[in-house]
Amino acid sequence: MPVQRIALFAVFLSIFSWMPAVTADASACTGMRVVAKDGSVAWARSLEFGSDIGSALMVAQRGMQWTSGAPDKAQGLRWTAKHAFVGPTAWGLPLPIEGMNEKGLYAGGFWMTEGESEFPDVQPTDYPRTVAQMYFVPWVLTNFATVDEIKAALPGITIAGLRVEALRTVPLAHWYVMDATGKAAVIESIDGKVTIRDNPVGVFTNAPSFGWHLTNLRQYMNLNPDNVKSAKLGGYEVRPLGEGTGLLGLPGDFTPPSRFVRAAVLANSALQPDDADGAVNLGMNLIAGFAIAKGVSRGVGADGKPEYDYTQWTTVYDLARKGLYVRTYENQNYRLVRFDKLPLDGGKILTIPMDKRFGPYEDISGQAH
């Protein structure tokens, strides 16, 4: 077995013993698609968790040897990376939560709560084609360029849900995938059956299942970006207090169903930008409305201590020009990683820190005149 493959598999096994004990759900992640008039596509996504997950940006090069885990600490599917990708990691592990590859294909995992998802019952004969849930994103990003390619390959694998003792659970997820054309799909494992379904609204959150979210949109058919001028109630004319009357009733809380509705309405109501610059800019503006500050969403961890689900980082992917913009809770300035400036060959992993200093902020005092 190549050295790189041995190292990755050893790290996978170590997940069961040394990951920091965290129990909060990453249950407030939101993603939205933007398609410009010239066909350029952008994707904006926020990542929330109740304790610091220690993310860094992972650059995985072409030619890298991958080996997934499987039940019983066995080895699962092995493959060689056709495409390089960039994406944020968690807990210092060489596994991305989401990312984009050099072909402009995006894949991202979104947390599902217990009882909302169930992975297949994997038998030992299936181990050679098994992809553990934490390896699903790199399997997609290193192998495929389009959503159609993923659809064709998905029946050839089985997805295993492996327990992580430090998390005290089997981390559950469902996935959003989108290619450079803007074609998007959702991959889920419900009741032990893996499905892939087109996503016509181009947004995604967490539980329940994607089909439930689409059905829930039927309760908000009245929402419209056009303002209501007035309404008659008997002999009384009700006049608006200000702008935004067409979206009265738009849910504003941080639960996954409410965020899905809000994202679907806003992302599909905003004026379509002209080009890639406009798509990236719109993505940044849209996702800003979903940020969660520390303390406004509170919970209690397994240790009995308070935990605060907050937006640890926000990413915006330029699928047309192959660029990744990222900002963190502490540093609200977006920074850019460009594929055309990265070493994409070499068969190894490179790391880019995600700076958590406050600022720096551009001082424009000298522009006073």
Please state, rounded to an integer, the average pLDDT across all residues of the chain. 91
pLDDT at site 234? 96
Q: Is 50 exceeded by the pLDDT of residue 39?
A: yes
Share of the chain above pLDDT 70, in %: 91
3-state secondary structure of 10: helix
| CATH code, domain with 344 | 3.60.60.10
Share of the chain above pLDDT 90, in %: 81
Does residue 221 lie within any of the structural domains? no
Does residue 266 lie within any of the structural domains? yes
Does residue 227 lie within any of the structural domains? no
**Any idea what DSSP says for residue 196?**
E
Does residue 42 lie within any of the structural domains? yes
pLDDT at site 165? 63
Tell me the C-alpha to C-alpha distance, in Å, between residue 337 and each of 13, 254, 290, 361.
Answer: 30, 29, 23, 19
- Sign, CA dihedral 70-28-335-53, equals negative
Choice among 4-18, 28-42, 141-155, 191-205 with the minimum mean pLDDT? 4-18
Could you tell me which residues are beta bridge partners of residue 49? 310
Q: Is 80 exceeded by the pLDDT of residue 6?
A: no
Q: Which residues contact 233 (CB under 8 A, 6 or more apart)?
A: none
Domain that includes residue 84, residue range:
3-207+256-360
- The tokens of 252 are what? 């504003």
The DSSP-derived string for 316-339 is EEETTTTEEEEEESS--S-EEEEG
Could you tell me which residues are beta bridge partners of residue 98? 108
pTM beyond cutoff 0.85: yes
Question: Beta strand pairing status for 106-112 and 74-80?
Answer: unpaired
d(Cα 277, Cα 285) in Å, to the nearest integer?
13
d(Cα 45, Cα 169) in Å, to the nearest integer?
25
Does residue 177 lie within any of the structural domains? yes
Does residue 246 lie within any of the structural domains? no
d(Cα 30, Cα 98) in Å, to the nearest integer?
12
d(Cα 75, Cα 70) in Å, to the nearest integer?
5
Residue 203 corresponds to which amino acid?
Answer: V
3-state secondary structure of 97: coil
**Any idea what DSSP says for residue 248?**
T
Q: Is 60 exceeded by the pLDDT of residue 170?
A: yes
- Sign, CA dihedral 334-335-339-345, equals negative
Q: Is 70 exceeded by the pLDDT of residue 203?
A: yes
Number of domains in the chain: 1
Tell me the C-alpha to C-alpha distance, in Å, between residue 294 and each of 50, 207, 307, 355.
Answer: 9, 22, 9, 18
The number of beta carbons lying within 10 Å of the beta carbon of residue 177 is: 25
Does residue 230 lie within any of the structural domains? no
Q: Which residues contact 62 (CB under 8 A, 6 or more apart)?
A: 81, 82, 83, 84, 102, 344, 345, 346, 347
Does residue 52 lie within any of the structural domains? yes
